[in-house]
Amino acid sequence: MQKITPFLCFAHEAEEAMNFYVGIFKNAKIISVERYGKGAPMPEGTVLTASFELFGQRFVALNAGPMFQFTPAVSFLVECDTQEEVDDYWSKLSADPQAEACGWLKDKFGVSWQVAPRQLGQLISDPDPVKAGRVMRAMMQMKKIDIAGLQQAYDAT
Amino acid sequence: MTSTIRTCLWFRDGRGREAAEFYCSLIPGSQVETVFVGDAGHGTIIDFSLGGVPYQILDAGPHFMLTEAVSISVETADQAETDRLWAALTADGGEESACGWLKDRYGVSWQIFPKRLTELTLRADKNVSAKAIAAMMKQKKIDIAAIEAAVRG
């Protein structure tokens, strides 16, 4: 059993969100669903907590009512190997064109994600500050990350 | 390579690296993996593993505020571990909240939740879980003996 679990509070979409995420990521499954009982702050039978795994990692979603707001202060960073993966996650997750910037997006539940190829981390931490700076500036202009565009900025002379 | 989802916490105040080191000191099996210091204005990115779960702190200025909507849930084995983590995380400007929740000195929300409480509130029969939940609702830090007593009632 995982000791540390990222825990997300939805207003009332915990189960829908779990099903959505489990349908998108690999090595994903529903672990358990617990429901509110009698006398609870939500109607009996409403999902209380939903536990699930994405890439084999445990997450929990809670229905808490409209108490808390997701903000980009917490985002979930999906590390990708190929442009195809970046494109796939981006098209499935992004629901708010206004929120798209620098590899960040918001899904239909208001949760923020970063869809980032591993190359991005490697290129912006290049020992040559000129090359790294060019990659950083190119990235700041992008919405969805374009690996070829990053490489072009890195290779530019 | 194996794909991962890394939970990224936005920090506003330049204390991200300190926070990552503090968290790693509290949870066994944790370590700071990489620290990336960007150009001026692009912040610091600290990748770390908390009990084997990938986390990141992006320390990059006052754009976003952490909220309780995403918290770090820790399953504790016994009261001593609950007490130790609760004391460390609420110290130096942290705040106790209700039902095992707290906000630490950096504004990150945590739940310190004994394994036994999950068994009593979610895995037990309805009568037991109703008593356990009622007792839990009165607590800030979880006192598992008091909840066990309420269940025996």
Each residue of B52-67: pLDDT tens digit? 999 999 999 989 999 9
Assess contact for A106 and B100: CB atoms under 8 A. Answer: no
Mean pLDDT, residues B42-56: 93
CA dist B56 and B47 (Å) reads 4
pLDDT at A67 over 60: yes
Contacts of B54 in chain A (CB under 8 A): 57
Contacts of A57 in chain B (CB under 8 A): 4-5, 53-54
pLDDT tens digits for A2-48? Answer: 899 999 999 999 999 999 999 999 999 999 999 988 777 888 899 99
**Mean pLDDT for all residues in chain B:** 94
H-run or E-run covering B58: strand B53-59
CA dist B41 and B97 (Å) reads 34
pLDDT at B130 over 90: no
CA distances from B57 to A41, A74, B43 (A): 34, 9, 10
Predicted pLDDT of residue A38: 77
Q: Is B122 on the interface with A (CB under 8 A)?
A: yes
Predicted pLDDT of residue B64: 94
Residue type at B2? T
Predicted pLDDT of residue B37: 87
From the CB of residue A153, how many other CB atoms can be counted at a distance below 10 Å? 19
Q: Where are the alpha helices (DSSP H) in A2-146?
A: 14-24, 83-93, 118-124, 129-141
Q: Is B65 in contact with A71 (Cβ distance < 8 A)?
A: yes
- pLDDT tier at A152 (50, 70, 90 boundaries)? very high
- pLDDT tier at B42 (50, 70, 90 boundaries)? low
Rounded percentage of chain A residues whose pLDDT exceeds 90: 85
Nearest CA in chain B to A64: B69
pLDDT at A121 over 60: yes
CA dist B151 and B148 (Å) reads 5
